[in-house]
Chain A
Amino acid sequence: MPHDDPDHPHSLLPPDPALRVKALETILTQKGLIDPAALDVIIDTYENKIGPRNGAHVVARAWRDPAFKAALLEDATAVVSELGYYGRQGEHMVAVENTANVHNMVVCTLCSCYPWPLLGIPPGWYKSDAYRARAVREPRAVLADFGVTLPEDTAVRVWDSTAEVRYLVVPERPADSDGMDEAALMDMVTRDSMIGTGLALPVERSAP
């Protein structure tokens, strides 16, 4: 950033909403209601520490360990909390499993409720009106936009998240992935596959 730019004799003015946020922070800090350092910790956590790798870890374990998967489908809140992926907003987690017969997909029609501890901050499209409205009305068309075409006889089930209940899709395990270790399996679990707008990546065939 040039400090001697004649066009900017004063500091660059942040956009209007940024100043409004600063004003809220100033007032709440003065009242002793917030700790500015805690805000930085929260931002760092969501920008750098929490993301879809957490969810991928859970999915890869479920693929490898039937008892873990059974427990996850029975009570996901308890299982993911034990791994440290607990929701600080007090929400309940539900894991839904994709099979050859059922494909699950998650939306939040109210706002953008999302399993932050497992997937991080939702992508823009998850928060868009287009996705929020269409996922329920025409899930197959939405899936097609994401490049996912399912067999005719696979049922599509759409789960509407709330502030209280959030969902994790356990995608189908890719064919020919038997015997792969957890780290290799995790690499095939994409964020979209855990929202249900994608599938897990296929096993890369090694050159003959």
Chain B
Amino acid sequence: MTDAPDPVFTEPWHAQVFALTVHLNEAGHFDWPEWASHFGATLKKNGLSKELDGGDDYFTAWLETLEQFLASKDLADLRDVAEIKNAWERAYLSTPHGAPVTLEQEMSEKR
């Protein structure tokens, strides 16, 4: 094992979900031990069916925990998350390549 500099985060969304969690903790929405116990439980559950390699599956478990955790705290409803996620997906698919992708169009069409 060498100390060659590995990228800190291998995928941009790993960094995003990490930062989101740290930011919410620092803003006082939950304390870190509470987060860690939930996250540890998810890792344990996911580790039963396959051996986690600490890469993508680690952050998948992180995201899964955060979604459930925020829902349980009434900070982000799971249905809202699914709906907004679909809106983002539609926005990406309907935005010409190279143009900035925004939710505005998707949101205004719904109203």
Contact present for B80 and A124 (CB under 8 Å): no
Inter-chain contact count A-B, CB under 8 Å? 190
Which residues on A sit within 8 Å (CB–CB) of B88? 19, 22-23, 26
Which size class do A's interface residues fall under?
Answer: 35 or more
Q: Are B53 and A124 in contact (CB under 8 A)?
A: yes
Which residues of A sit under 8 angstroms from B18, Cβ to Cβ?
Answer: 42-43, 46, 121
Return chain B residues, CB-CB under 8 Å to A9: 96-97
- What is the CB-to-nearest-CB distance from B80 to chain A, in angstroms, rounded to a whole number? 6
Q: Is the Cβ of B84 less than 8 Å from the Cβ of A21?
A: no
CB distance from B51 to the nearest CB of A (A): 5
| Closest beta carbon of chain B to A111's beta carbon, Å | 4
Residue of B nearest to A197 (CB): B1
Contact with A along B72-111 (1 / 0, CB 8 A): 0001110011101100110011111111010100000000
- Given A112-B58, A121-B8, the answer on whether A25 and B20 have CB atoms closer than 8 Å is yes
Residue of A15, A26, A46, A91 with most partner-chain B CB within 10 A: A26
Q: Is the CB of B9 within 8 A of A47?
A: yes
Interface size bracket, B side: 35 or more
Q: How far is the CA of A170 from the CA of B47 in the complex (A)?
A: 31
Chain A nearest CB, measured from B91 CB (Å): 8
Contacts A33-B27, A34-B20, A38-B23 known; A121 to B9 CB distance under 8 Å? yes
B99 with A43: CB separation less than 8 A: no
Taking the nearest CB of chain B, how far is it from the CB of A28, in angstroms?
6
Interface residues of A (CB under 8 A from B): 1, 3-5, 8-15, 17-28, 31, 33-35, 38-40, 42-43, 46-47, 51-52, 88-91, 110-113, 120-121, 123-131, 146-147, 162-164, 190-192, 197-198
Q: Which 5 A-B pairs have the closest CB atoms?
A: A127-B54, A128-B54, A163-B36, A18-B13, A163-B33
